[in-house]
């Protein structure tokens, strides 16, 4: 079932979204939905080339696995922003 999301935008940001929606011949809601999903997919997942690069570095894989174990045990420090 579809859900409703309310957002507050400054006028300049709103107009940017409106112009982009018109250029793509989409509703404003659909433009925001697609842009948000695209951002999540691009920033949350590793593509095949990146995964091959990671897999080719055994020391990195070992460190990532150790970090994952620590995270599951809630050990260590977690950095939430750069």
Angle of helix 11-23 versus helix 28-44 axis, rounded to 10: 90
CA distance 81 to 59: 24
In the chain, the number of structural domains is 2
- pTM attached to this predicted model: 0.55
Sequence length of the chain is: 82
Which pair of tokens denotes residue 47? 């593509």
**Is residue 31 in a domain?**
yes
Give me the domain span that covers residue 28.
7-45
**Is residue 64 in a domain?**
yes
Q: Would you say 54 and 61 are in contact if contact means Cβ atoms under 8 Å apart?
A: yes
CA distance 2 to 72: 33
**Is residue 77 in a domain?**
yes
- Along the 82 residues of the chain, how does pLDDT read in single tens digits? 989 999 999 999 999 999 999 999 999 999 999 999 998 888 778 888 988 999 999 999 999 999 899 888 888 777 776 5
Do both 63 and 74 map to the same domain?
yes
């Amino acid at each position: 079932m579809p859900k409703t999301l309310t957002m507050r935008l400054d006028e300049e940001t709103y107009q940017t979204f409106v112009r982009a929606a018109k250029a793509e011949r989409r509703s404003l809601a659909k433009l925001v939905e697609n842009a948000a999903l695209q951002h999540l997919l691009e920033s949350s997942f590793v593509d095949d080339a990146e995964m091959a690069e990671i897999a080719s570095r055994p020391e990195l894989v070992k460190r990532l696995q150790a970090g994952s174990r620590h995270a599951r045990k809630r050990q260590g420090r977690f950095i939430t922003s750069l």
